Amino acid sequence: MRPNIIKRGVFNFLKAHNVEHILAEPVETKPKEGHEIHFPVHLETTIKLIRENLFPEGESKKSDNFQTLLDCTLGTAGHSKTFLQTFPNLYVLGIDLDKRMIDYVSQNAKETFKEEEIKRFAAQNHNFTHINKLSPFNAFPEEFHRREKFDCFLADLGYNSVQLEGDDWGLAYNSKQQLDMRYNKETMKISAADLLNTSPIYDLEEILSKFGEEPAANFIAKLIVKERKKKKIETAQELKDILFNNMNPRTDKYKVLMRVFQALRITINNELQNLESFMENSFDPLKENGIGMIITFHSLERQVVVQHLKELKKKQKIKILELNLPPSEQEITMNSKSKSAHLHCYKKIAPN
């Protein structure tokens, strides 16, 4: 088991970039023993974008320039926590589709946040597709009784390291738990195991090819159907063994596994449709001159986001501040999981 510690290199990197408070030891967000903490990606750039666009005159506590940020993918609140600590005049509403993440952050809030920061923070369980139903007023009725729109939002797509390593998510490659993968078991009826064991061969092939961009989709779909006739595929470990025992030894098995898992996760959670709706619905709840920041992790997400941003730009509704920004070499060295994280950011320039 990996020890529950923060890598020293990451600590030094963040310290050098003036964000050491999120990693001040002892560890502030406490994953379960043996689980790795989730490192927020593009932290430095997101802070810079917020500073330049929301607090151009500096983030002094004395001014009454109160701003609001909607963290559409709260996770373990790595981004939210740092933003609250960095900007004393920022209020943050964090939402997550996975209620377990909301509970996790709420249960650890007292240890994670300072008392004063808790007053500027709210966490709610929502799908980000409903972003247009949220407002600063709804989250902080006392402080923002007339504010309908946010000054900023962040959507950091994908899943959290804690979800990957948690026992009951079934997202980890070696998990011996039921292969589930649902962010929300109440709203999503089908688990990844159900999908694997019941889908017709042509659906499996399409899922693997479309959402995993897997070149061997046809071979793997046939393999799954053959194996499930012998025995139901129930855990991530069983799926991994089936793939590893049958793939050509010259193929990069871990890449195949990664693509198969990505395809299942995207399908089970409707991820691309959710992202489409989010891109449609997230323009209105943003104030004029507000900024939207989206972090994508694979080419399918990137295509959806970039296409939407280009359309909004064509209609002269936004100014693009960042498109497809990769992480710095330094960030990749410190956190290899950030490798495929691309940041996109726009400023709203039309009223609606």
Residues that bind ligand SAM (CB under 6 A): 38, 40, 72-73, 75-79, 95-98, 101, 127-128, 156, 158-160, 183, 274
Q: Backbone phi, then psi, for 345, in 5-degree steps?
A: -145, 140
- Give the C-alpha separation, 268 to 348, whole Å: 32
Q: Which is nearer to ligand SAM, 166 or 212 (CB)?
A: 166
Secondary structure of residue 243 in the 3-state scheme: helix
- Mind spelling out the 3-state secondary structure of 97-149? CCHHHHHHHHHHHHHHCCHHHHCCEEEEECCHHHHHHCCHHHHCCCCCCCCCC
Q: Which is nearer to ligand SAM, 97 or 217 (CB)?
A: 97
Tokens, residue 80: 């939210």
* Nearest approach, Cβ of residue 291 and ligand SAM (Å): 16
Q: Which is nearer to ligand SAM, 164 or 221 (CB)?
A: 164
Q: Which is nearer to ligand SAM, 31 or 136 (CB)?
A: 31
Q: Any idea which residue has 């129930």 for tokens? A: 234
| Burial bucket for residue 34 (CB in 10 Å: 0-12, 13-18, 19+) | exposed
Q: Which is nearer to ligand SAM, 223 or 272 (CB)?
A: 272
* Nearest approach, Cβ of residue 275 and ligand SAM (Å): 8
H/E run at residue 318: strand 318-325
What does DSSP assign to residue 235? B
